[in-house]
Amino acid sequence: MWAVGALRRAGLALAAAAALALALAAWRRRRRRRPGREVLFFPSRPSCTEALLAEAAGPGEAARLCPCPCPLPRGDCSLSRLLRRLLSARRSLEICLFAFSSPQLGRAVQLLHRRGVRVRVVTDAQYMGLQGSQIGLLRQAGIQVRHGQEDGYMHHKFAIVDRRMLITGSLNWTTQAIQNNRENVLVVEDAEYVKPFLEEFERIWEEYRPINYRFFPKDNK
């Protein structure tokens, strides 16, 4: 009788342990949220993005700007999706861009800066001064911008939102590229990709410290 009781208790204990293990596995599965993934292709069809930018700027701005009188169609497009991803930033935005001249994307970045997001921009020294570049406007708005003085191009085209979302691809942030070129942008939240890009950004950010700029190179007499 004692043996039967012990067996029963052992069976129940085993069953309870197994049930606990199964519940734990289910909880872990739920916790392991699927990382956000998206692929955007360009050219993006022409579309009015005013409502999106105004909405992100707050109720006052939305009332002032909307409805926009322009004749462009409303609705979803690759540019609006890219804007939405950027505007989701709450704490930080690292931008590492060869060419940046899109007024819409420039406004989005300034808006995030005004909202208190810590924005840092790395760009290419030779392209940042071209006509239409947004870099001067970003600097004027108080956003930190750094560039190198290397022979090669700073040819990256990526951004990192809140240290968790990587936006990268072939797309320079120019109106020409957005509206006319065949381009791609990947949105990635997998840490295996986000982490090395964050490290690359910090590496370049340190190398491009303004204290290292040579305005009057010593060997140039």
> Catalytic site residues?
155, 157, 162
The one among 85, 107, 113, 156 contacting its own copies by CB under 8 A: 156
Alpha carbon distances (Å) from 64 to 38, 48, 58, 68: 32, 16, 10, 9
Stretch that binds its own copies, among 44-52, 71-79, 130-138, 148-156 (CB under 8 A): 148-156
Binding of residue 37 to its own copies (CB under 8 A): yes
Alpha carbon distances (Å) from 92 to 116, 133, 134, 147, 150: 9, 22, 19, 19, 27
Chain residues 95-114 in contact with its own copies, contact rule CB under 8 A: 98
The one among 61, 68, 163, 169 contacting its own copies by CB under 8 A: 169
Binding of residue 213 to its own copies (CB under 8 A): no
Size of the site for its own copies (CB under 8 A): 50
The one among 145, 157, 161, 173 contacting its own copies by CB under 8 A: 157
Name residue 159's beta-bridge partners.
95, 167
The one among 143, 167, 168, 173 contacting its own copies by CB under 8 A: 168
Write down the least CB distance from residue 124 to its own copies, Å.
Answer: 9
Write down the least CB distance from residue 57 to its own copies, Å.
Answer: 30
Residue (of 90, 86, 102) closest to 166 by Cα position:
86
Binding of residue 70 to its own copies (CB under 8 A): no
Sign of torsion, CA 182 199 155 110?
positive
Binding of residue 141 to its own copies (CB under 8 A): no
Stretch that binds its own copies, among 48-56, 66-74, 137-145, 185-193 (CB under 8 A): 185-193
Please name the amino acid found at residue 170: S
Q: What distance, in Å, lies between the first and last C-alpha atoms of the chain?
A: 103
Name residue 161's beta-bridge partners.
93, 165
Q: What letter would DSSP give residue 35?
A: P
Distance CA 66, CA 55 (A): 9
Binding of residue 76 to its own copies (CB under 8 A): no
Cβ-count burial 17-40 (b if 16+ within 10 Å, e if not): eeeeeeeeeeeeeeeeeeeeeeeb
The one among 192, 210, 215, 218 contacting its own copies by CB under 8 A: 192
Give the footprint of its own copies on this chain (CB under 8 A): 4-5, 7-8, 10-12, 14-15, 17-19, 21-22, 25, 37, 39, 41, 43, 98, 148, 150-158, 168-171, 176-177, 179-184, 186, 190, 192-193, 196-197, 200, 204
